[in-house]
């Protein structure tokens, strides 16, 4: 019997295996790691711990400025972080002012808020959070927003006057916030803008989820 004949016979036998047997073997192989995990450690980076530590320090009633400064291309990376962060803030009963300096921000905010469902932890729009909508101008607008919100924005995204929104009662400048959180893909330079125009001049604690 030649090697060529042996090789053909082997392949013929493999091709003759019923499909249900192949699928069963595949399922068993894929299930094995679930039944007997190999126990690789989950490494949490120091930056992640620092991000969480700042959220943990917030108290009930603290004002948080949250900016969704990303575009659709970064949706799969940044949206989960935004959703998880907001859901962690929910039970703490802080007050959240949401902004976006990305023109694609409003529809991405509305997509995220459907996943967050603030009402599930007792929040009401206007009382616990407000969305300012898209604010054009990037760094110039950030500086103006930090100095005097009402001089820059007179209505929220839904055209309700700022002074008619309860959550905005004692909020009008950067000093009124306890924490600034930004989610940005870096394409519009929002990250550096927040540092130069808000964090540095107003000493506001700033944490960011950023990708380049």
pTM of the model: 0.79
- Phi/psi for 194 (5° steps) reads -65, -40
In the sheet with 179-184, reading across from the earlier edge strand, the strands are 129-134, 95-100, 63-69, 179-184, 206-210
- Per residue in 140-189, pLDDT tens? 999 999 999 999 999 999 999 999 999 999 999 999 999 999 999 875 58
- Per residue in 110-143, pLDDT tens? 999 999 999 999 999 999 999 999 999 999 999 9
- pLDDT confidence bin for 89, thresholds 50/70/90: very high
């Amino acid at each position: 019997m030649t090697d060529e004949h042996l090789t053909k016979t082997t392949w013929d036998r493999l091709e003759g295996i019923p499909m249900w047997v192949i699928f069963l073997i595949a399922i068993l192989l894929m299930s094995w790691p679930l039944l007997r995990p190999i126990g690789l450690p989950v490494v949490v980076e120091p930056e992640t711990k620092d991000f969480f530590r700042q959220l943990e320090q917030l108290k009930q009633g603290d004002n948080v400025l949250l900016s969704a400064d990303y575009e659709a291309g970064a949706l799969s990376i940044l949206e989960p972080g935004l959703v998880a962060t907001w859901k962690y803030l929910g039970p703490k009963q802080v007050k959240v002012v949401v902004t976006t300096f990305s023109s694609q921000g409003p529809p991405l905010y509305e997509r995220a808020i459907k996943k967050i469902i603030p009402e599930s932890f007792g929040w009401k729009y206007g009382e616990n959070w407000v969305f300012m909508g898209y604010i054009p101008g990037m760094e110039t607008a950030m500086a103006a927003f930090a100095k005097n919100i009402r001089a820059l924005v007179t209505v929220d995204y839904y055209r309700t006057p700022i002074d008619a929104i309860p959550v905005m009662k004692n909020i009008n400048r950067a000093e009124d916030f306890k924490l600034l959180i930004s989610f940005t893909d870096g394409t519009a330079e929002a990250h550096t803008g927040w540092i130069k125009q808000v964090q540095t001049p107003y000493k506001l604690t700033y944490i960011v989820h950023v990708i380049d």
